Amino acid sequence: MKRPMTSLGAIILCGGGSRRMGRDKALLDWDGRRAVDRVADLARTAGADALITAGADLGLPWVPDDEAGAGPVGGVLAGARALGTARLLVLAVDAPTVTAEDLAPLLASGGFYEGLPVPMVVEAAALPADAEAGWPLRRLVERAGLTALPVPEGALARLRGANTPEELEALSRR
C-alpha cells in the first residue's frame, strides 16, 4: 500500500550483512541509542515527512530489499516504491553520527558527496526506470543525473560511518 504523496521521504539502508563489523550495525549502541534510531531521528530533523528502513525489520516502518544480498540499490528502489514521495533522502544505518548540517547542502540542491554515494538526495522521478537490485550505488547516482558536491570540511569520517570495529571505535571517540 502506497502512502500519500509527501515532499520528502527517507530511506535508511539496513540490509547489509555487517560481515566486516561482525554484528548488526543497525543495533550498535551510540550513546545509549541504537544506530537506526539515531539515523531515523536525523531524517526527521532533516524534514522527512515519512521514513522507512530497507532490508530489516527494526521496529520502524520497513520494506524488504528487492533481492536479498544484491546490494543497496534494491533497498533504494523498494523504499522509493513504498514511500511514494517526490524526493528521497537516502541514508546509511552505519553512519549514525551524520548531522543535519552535513545534510543541508544535499537537501538544498539534491545530489551526493564526492566519492560517497550515500547520503544522497534524489527526486523519485529521476530514478532510472531500468534500475535493478544488484546495481552499484554509483551507477544509480550516475544514471539519476545527480550532482557530486564537495565533502564539507571535517565531515568525511561522519559521512563514511563505521563498517569495522576499528572505524566504530574511532568514530565513537569524536
- The overall average pLDDT reported for the chain is 90
Planar angle of CA 136, 131, 137, nearest 5 degrees = 20
Planar angle of CA 98, 24, 110, nearest 5 degrees = 30
In the predicted structure, residue 36 carries a pLDDT above the cut 60: yes
Average pLDDT rounded to a whole number, residues 57-79: 90
In the predicted structure, residue 41 carries a pLDDT above the cut 60: yes
In the predicted structure, residue 111 carries a pLDDT above the cut 90: yes
pLDDT at 94: 92
pLDDT at 133: 92
In the predicted structure, residue 155 carries a pLDDT above the cut 90: yes
Packing angle, helices 35-45 and 100-109, rounded to 10: 50
In the predicted structure, residue 165 carries a pLDDT above the cut 80: no
Classified as helix, coil or strand, 54 is strand
What does the block give as the cell for 15? 540490509
In the predicted structure, residue 13 carries a pLDDT above the cut 60: yes
Q: Are 113 and 127 in contact (CB under 8 A)?
A: no
Q: What is the pTM of this model?
A: 0.92
Give residue 6's pLDDT band: very low, low, confident or very high (50, 70, 90): low
Give residue 91's pLDDT band: very low, low, confident or very high (50, 70, 90): very high
Average pLDDT rounded to a whole number, residues 59-84: 91
| Amino acid letter, 83 | L
Give residue 99's pLDDT band: very low, low, confident or very high (50, 70, 90): very high
pLDDT at 18: 64
